[in-house]
Amino acid sequence: VTMKLMDEVAGIVAARHCKTNIVTASVDAINFHEKIKKGSVITISGRMTFTSNKSMEIEVFVDADPFVDEPQERYRAVSAFFTYVSLSKEGRPLPVPQLL
């Protein structure tokens, strides 16, 4: 479930950047830093880190806030890099707008 949510967040970042259809091209190593404790509230965020003419890279973070058991600080649980491609309505690759 966590990886699916991470892909959805990365897809939203990519779609907002390109304003076109997008598709996941690849996922770099998913780093599971710490276990997410049952009952934790998670926050998933993404940011564009790189664009080329044909693809874009989005870094996604999952932070966990374990407030149920003993309160502790929010911590980074998972991170990964996703690569996306912008597509035309016909499914052909489109140029990706550069980062400003």
Q: What is the CATH number of the domain that holds 81?
A: 3.10.129.10
73: in domain: yes
Total structural domains within the chain:
1
Q: What pTM value is reported for the model?
A: 0.90
The 10 Å CB-count burial string (b at 16+, else e) for 9-24 is bbbebbeebbebebee
pLDDT at 85: 98
43: in domain: yes
Average pLDDT, the chain: 94
Q: What is the DSSP letter of 98?
A: P
pLDDT at 67: 77
12: in domain: yes
30: in domain: yes
Q: Does residue 88 contact residue 46 with C-beta atoms inside 8 Å? A: no
pLDDT at 69: 66
Q: Which residue is listed with tokens 């998670």?
A: 42
Average pLDDT over residues 42-56: 97
